[in-house]
């Protein structure tokens, strides 16, 4: 496995666990996306799968959030992931897998997070269409829409302050469910805030 990101300290810690060299990635730069895919193939020898877990958030009502913050959310949550997948598609081995973490707000848009919800919904829609387009090339295209996870992203908001958030889910449980979904060829893992269940579709 290989890991890519722009936070050198956090990336270094992850790569130490993987016994892998870090790959620098600025997701909002298409050329960096291409370089990151090249770097992964150079390290691993081939590309069998791609997992995208990224996010930027801002809190506040529509029209009251800085426009630059809104554009940043679209870049990080939708445009960047799409660019990274586009860079990977010609390089995948047959039967490859794409796993994208959108969010529960892609399915249940949330007041005070309209632009964030829209950016995650855009990525979710892309994954659905990608699955249909590339069914002969990719064995799995999995859209993961988890509920609140304690990633610290709410404390690094581009704007505004986070509302009271629900109890965070277990990252270890989510990872286990993702691995199971990939093994069984799942299409989506969707969290229902009404039942607090994560279901495989």
Residue 107 belongs to a domain with what CATH number? 3.40.50.720
Residue 16 and residue 92 in one domain: no
* Cα–Cα distance measured from residue 188 to residue 170, given in angstroms and rounded to the nearest whole number: 18
Residue 17 pLDDT exceeds 90: no
pLDDT category at 148 given cuts 50, 70, 90 is confident
Rounded Cα gap, residues 160 and 179, in angstroms:
34
At 25-40, the pLDDT tens digits run: 999 999 999 999 999 9
Name the residue range of residue 25's domain.
1-45
Say how far apart CA 56 and CA 27 lie, in whole Å. 12
Q: Do 7 and 94 fall within a single domain?
A: no
41 and 58 share one domain? no
Residues 9 and 63 in one domain: no
Taking Cα atoms as reference points, which of 50, 76, 39, 41 lies closest to residue 157?
A: 76
Percent helix, strand, coil in the chain (nearest 5)? Answer: 45, 20, 35
Side-chain-side CA neighbours of residue 171 (13 Å)? 5
Q: What torsion do the CA atoms of 187, 192, 196, 200 make, to the nearest 10 degrees?
A: -20
Do 83 and 30 belong together in one domain?
no
Is there a single domain that holds both residue 193 and residue 103?
A: yes
When divided into structural domains, the chain yields a total of 2
Note the pLDDT tens digit of each residue in 64-117: 999 999 999 999 999 999 999 999 999 998 899 999 999 999 999 999 999 999
Measure the CA–CA gap between 184 and 73, rounded to whole angstroms: 32
Q: Which pTM was predicted?
A: 0.91
């Amino acid at each position: 496995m290989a890991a890519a990101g722009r936070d050198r300290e956090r990336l270094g810690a992850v790569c130490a666990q993987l016994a892998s060299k870090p790959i620098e990635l600025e997701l909002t730069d298409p050329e960096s996306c291409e370089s990151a895919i090249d770097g992964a193939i150079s390290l691993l020898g081939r590309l069998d799968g791609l997992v995208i877990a990224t996010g930027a958030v801002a809190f506040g009502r529509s029209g009251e959030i800085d426009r630059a913050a809104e554009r940043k959310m679209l870049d990080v949550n939708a445009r960047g992931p799409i660019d990274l997948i586009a860079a990977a598609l010609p390089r995948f081995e047959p039967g490859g897998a794409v796993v994208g973490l959108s969010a529960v707000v892609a399915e249940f848009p949330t007041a005070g997070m309209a632009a964030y919800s829209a950016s995650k919904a855009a990525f979710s829609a892309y994954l659905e269409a990608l699955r249909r387009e590339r069914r002969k090339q990719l064995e799995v295209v999995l859209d993961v829409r988890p509920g609140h996870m304690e990633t610290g992203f709410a404390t690094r908001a581009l704007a505004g302050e986070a509302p009271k958030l629900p109890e965070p889910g277990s990252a270890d449980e989510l990872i286990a469910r993702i691995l199971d979904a990939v093994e069984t060829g799942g299409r989506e893992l969707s969290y229902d805030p009404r039942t607090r269940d994560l279901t495989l579709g």
